[in-house]
Chains A and B, each alone.
Chain A
Amino acid sequence: MSNGDEHFGKARIEGGVDAIIIGGAPDSLVAAAYLARAGLNTVLLEASGEIGAPYRRPAQDGDDQCFDGEHLFHALDPQAIDDLDLYSCGVAYSARRLSVAYFFENGECLRLGGDLRAAAQGAEPDGDAFMQFITDMFEAASFMRPLFNGAPGANAAFKTALAAAPPRLSSLLERWMAQSAEQAIGDYFPDGAAKTAMLAEAVFRSGAPPHEAMSFSPLLARWSGETAGLQGAVAYADGGAVTVLDALRRAAQKAKVEFRTASPVAKILIEKDHAAGVELVTGNQLRAPIVISGLDAQTTYKNLIGAAALDRVFQQSISMRKPTISTVHLHLDLNGAPIDASTRADLARRIVFAPPIDRVRRAFVDAAAGTVPSDLIVEAIFENAFDDAASADRQRLSVLAHPAPMINAGDTDARDAMRAAIIATIEKFAPDLGARIASERLVTAADMAGEIGAPASAFAAREGVYRQIARAASVTSAGSIGGLYFCGPEAQIGYGVNGAAGRNAAQAALRKGARAGVAA
């Protein structure tokens, strides 16, 4: 490897780097930290002016509070937390095992404690059914966790484990992977509040409508994280989700990753079927034998590499139909209801509005047709109720609404309709909320994508888990290009910040490097 810069005409060719990470997303930071801790000279290239900038948006009062698209954590990779010592880098939870309040169309409310097993036991009137469901779910989700984490070799290990699993468990897994949410949940619950709540959970943030095959599996993937045994239920990060991003950045810094901002990549250099580095938009080249992309698959493979270097079967396996379903995020600052000690306890929970199931069906059909549905599943969090130190003179509400159509950037009519539908839904359990809005911001998949120049599909709702597993296997194979690794959004099963994809990419690179070293 040459050490130093060479100049050819105006463009500069820079060497002396062991690994390049493209993009400043959470998984990229994880991958970079792993490689640098292993002693590799690692450079992380971020297109915007600040690491993690696309994910970090100024909150209404000016401080960086928001981490768009996420306000809760379902499964931060426990191994990454340990390996990168993330707790000492600033990861902290102000609340774990969040309790949930489900609100329904008929005005009723179902409150569940953060420990779902305990909560199910006391749930009326479906206590027995609920307990059986939770027990089966936890067993199945825990069993499937290695598969959902997508580590190299995990699939083969999973197959071996499946063959040795008790017949009841393996047949349950097969069934649940294929069943619709309505079928799987209908097997346990008679009609009632618990059924409506679990159906809403199953399809929340999923691209798979509840009446269609394979629509139950996303809940298995989601519960395979925090809910089914790591720490219980979902968690709220102290200071908001942005603190997790900061902690990941700190971990990378501590490992001596070199950050280069305002460095958009134009091309991944492939030489003799092996990654050789990148060419920046400026024309300068940065050469390294390891390249990890944390950008989406389409940008990575179609734009930065190009079809010519990829075989047809690979291209087919990573191609994705134009998605139709997304989740919309609405941040609200509310007047006239300060959070204090007396209200904090009641507000520090996850609030979910679960519409009747036939309306959820309809909502998916409408959203897929590009129409804003009149019924939405809504998850709301009073962010500053989790922060004892917050001034909290206002309530700050973070809302995720699903299913939304894919709203084009600049489509103000659709944005307005979406906003109105979300407010109307919240007012079903919080009357007159609309009148209290001091400021607000609506964030769509297109907004998120626009920030980092990605296609909106990278932020669309995902389909059933089979497809996600298949696509993750394809995208992480990197089209058999040596030295190229992938930890973009398609490498992850399910949604949310996780970090396992970044860890897997880095570990695969390190293993390959170790093998090469032995051979030499």
Chain B
Amino acid sequence: MGATFDLLVIGDDAPSLCAAAAASARGASTILASTGAVTHGGPSVCDIPNFVWRRLELQEFGLETEPVSARVTLLADGDAITTYCGLEDTVEALRERDADGAALWPEMIDDMRALGETGFDAGLNGGEPSALSFVDNARALADLGRIAGSGDELIEDFVNGGPLNAHVNVHALAPFGLGGMEAGSAAALPEFFDEDAWRVRAKPGARSIIGALRKACERHGVEAAPPGLERAIADGARHNAILFKGGEKIRSRHIFFACPDAAEAAGYSGVARGAPANSARAVMRIKLRDRVDPPTGDVRALFQIIDDGSEIKTARNEALAGRIFDRLPVEFEFTEKGDIFARTTYIPARLQEEGEWRDWTGQDRQLLSTILINRLSSRIDGLHDQIQKTDLKMIACASDDNDKFSDARNVTLQPRRHNAIGAAVTLIDKVLDDE
């Protein structure tokens, strides 16, 4: 091949596809490389903001989405707490079980969104602007102080303990693998309340979101890279040479990862910078013989399993110590066909046994599978009997030694975000504008 591009985008997920199509649509020569791995796993993606939708003219590609029906937290003893995309629906639902929470909810959303703007302006989520340049603005500094604190502290400004506190914490923090006690974990909360952070699914019967976005990439002129990216190396004064397994080679000015999932799958060690220490993730697809009744009767919701609010902290600490926690928080959702995608972000990248660190073994993976199934079975009646097949994928960051990009230049990574698509397109625009 040997062609030269402005941008190489690596990834198979919605943020990567949107970023590639958006860059190409504005005239950058763009090539997209697949990692060949299931990185996110599941039918829902974060919402596609209007500015992305318009630029890519997504309606042309049969894309039809609808919001995930609800965020549900399945607590111990059959208790569940649910919030909805619509403010009124949530207030109504909360009023029945948590009057104080219902009263506070609108104020919390307003305050969190305002904080989110400060955080974004300050670049606390990995962007370019300087948080230090805010030191002369008293109000912004006070906001930054809150965002730079722990998630626990920020949420307690509104909801002091209880199921609603646990619900917000687990939905906001689990995608990051955070426990809520970490400095800076508060930054995940304002973004969680961003309108574009609410996840969407393809409407029943409509084309899959990924399928539609692939089509958009094709139509906007994104080229497809050969399979099997082997290594990226700085080449000449401004470019990278990208080498593939089949011996093909291309050149690219920039390398762009729209989300850490893609970067991990591609073998970029820089992901570790924004991730909790010793953290890995697992995605399990469970194929069922027959449909099961979803908890709360809602098949289009996004579910979290925790026994109580402190569990994500324990889980995080267990991962840090190199242990597999037997009460792992699990996020899951149902596919159109009724299969289940389950995810957890609270597993260790490396395990520790009797003071020695080691890699995962088949036995460890088996244990993890068992824990995930047990956790799901504790909330989904009759699940055990319907399991036909499970497929467990573990995703961990490449070590420095195995980094395929250690000799590359101009590598940009969008850190993990709730509104990953909007953030990725904004960042790729910035990369191109800076040219």
Contacts and interface: CB of A to CB of B under 8 A. Distances in A.
Given A212-B184, A213-B182, A365-B320, A317 B133 contact: no
B135 A361 contact: no
B131 A470 contact: no
A155 B135 contact: yes
A214 B141 CA distance: 16
Interface stretch (A157-165, A343-351, A444-452): A157-165
B183 A212 contact: yes
Contacts of A213: 182-184
A211 B276 contact: yes
B95 to A, nearest CB: 24
Contact of B145 (A156, A212, A317, A362): A317
Interface string A183-199: 10000000000000000
Interface string A298-342: 000000000000000100110101000000000000000000000
A211 B320 contact: yes
B150 A321 contact: yes
Nearest to A314: B142
Interface residues of B, number: 34
Contact of B136 (A156, A177, A183, A214): A156
B1 interface: no
A173 B133 CA distance: 11
A196 to B, nearest CB: 16
A142 interface: no
A467 B149 contact: yes
Nearest to B123: A174
B131 A174 contact: yes
Interface residues of A, number: 43
B131 A177 contact: yes
A507 to B, nearest CB: 18
Contacts of B184: 178, 212-214, 464
A463 B148 CA distance: 10
Contacts of B146: 316-317, 470
Interface in A264-317: 313, 316-317
Interface string A130-165: 000000000000000001000000011011001100
A486 B357 CA distance: 49
A187 B46 CA distance: 33
Interface string A441-482: 000000000000000000000011011011101100100000
Contact of A470 (B148, B157, B320): B148
Going nearest first, the 5 A-B pairs with the smallest beta carbon separation are A470-B145, A211-B277, A213-B184, A156-B136, A466-B148
23 contacts: A147-B135, A156-B136, A158-B132, A159-B132, A170-B130, A178-B184, A179-B273, A183-B272, A183-B273, A211-B320, A214-B184, A215-B183, A321-B150, A358-B352, A362-B320, A365-B321, A466-B131, A470-B141, A470-B142, A470-B145, A471-B145, A473-B135, A473-B142
Interface of B: 124, 130-133, 135-136, 138, 141-142, 144-146, 148-150, 152-153, 156-157, 181-184, 272-273, 276-278, 317, 320-321, 352, 357
